[in-house]
Amino acid sequence: MDTERSYVSVVILAAGLGTRMRSDKAKVLHEICGRPMIRYVLAAASGVVADEKIVVVVGCQADAVRMEALKHGKVLFAYQDKQLGTGHAAQCALGRLPADARDVVIMCGDVPFITPQTIANLVDSHREFDNDVTLLSVVLDNPTGYGRIVTDASGNVARIVEEADASRDEKSINTVNAGTYCIKKSFLECALGGIAPDNAQNEIYLTDIVKVANTNARRVGMVAIKDADEVIGINSVSDLARAEQSMRDAHLGKTS
């Protein structure tokens, strides 16, 4: 493991129920090939940082999610008592971050195909360009439901607009936010306090950290990845079925 990455912590957002899953089970506990989604994400994160530098934000069925996460290793936990948005979940995690953390990767617990290499590439790019915020992006043929990445005339990331708040022109953008970020811890601590729930969902969006960064002349970077399946979350029963089939196909490919 890269020595420099010893100063990186990972926050995994795993507090939601996932209403489109049509189940009363916490979203990250839904299984793919007999293994809960959260375990795949933890395995990817621990390929980059030590387990004790991973903070899992729990909420719905917190005890069950904790028990499953601890089967992976000695990770840390933060509790989000009310699901008030991704920014609020990140706020809940701040107090649990290791004191020596310089950069924080924030990712979702429903991306079972993400790889350690993708996370490492994000961190390396973040540090190479000395960014305050670096995010993963991906181009989708059908971006419906995802936050659009709005760029300025120079191609720099200006802001992220969620589907519910996007204009017609913004909805035509097919470069979307993959929901995984690397953020300087010092900036994260300051910026989260400046985000308000001024949106259609009345939630604190972590995506607004980009707007805060640009307002304060901070550096924002973006790492584009080609494989959408790696970063697009499992949000429905049909998504889960496709993930199961993809995982089985990948396994067959390795054994054939």
Burial (CB < 10 A; 0-12, 13-18, 19+), residue 74, is exposed
Q: Which tokens go with 237?
A: 């029963």
Tell me how crowded residue 185 is: count the other CB atoms within 10 A of its CB. 19
β 157-161/133-139 pair status? unpaired
Q: How far apart are CA 16 and CA 161, in angstroms?
A: 21
Query: What's the one-letter identity of residue 7?
Result: Y
pLDDT of residue 2 exceeding 60, the answer is: no
Q: How many residues does the chain have?
A: 256
Reported as a single tens digit per residue, the pLDDT across 10-63 is 999 999 887 777 778 899 999 999 999 999 999 999 999 999 999 999 999 999
Residue 20: active-site member: yes
Options 20, 35, 66, 219, the catalytic residue: 20
- 85 with 206: CB under 8 angstroms? yes
Reported as a single tens digit per residue, the pLDDT across 152-174 is 988 899 999 988 889 999 999 99
Q: Which tokens go with 196?
A: 């308000």
pTM: 0.93
Q: Which residues contact 251 (CB under 8 A, 6 or more apart)?
A: 33
Burial (CB < 10 A; 0-12, 13-18, 19+), residue 59, is buried
Q: Which domains does the chain have, with CATH numbers?
A: 3-255 (3.90.550.10)
Q: How far apart are CA 82 and CA 110, in angstroms?
A: 19
Rg from Cα positions in the chain:
17
Reported as a single tens digit per residue, the pLDDT across 53-98 is 999 999 999 999 999 999 999 999 999 998 899 999 999 999 999 9
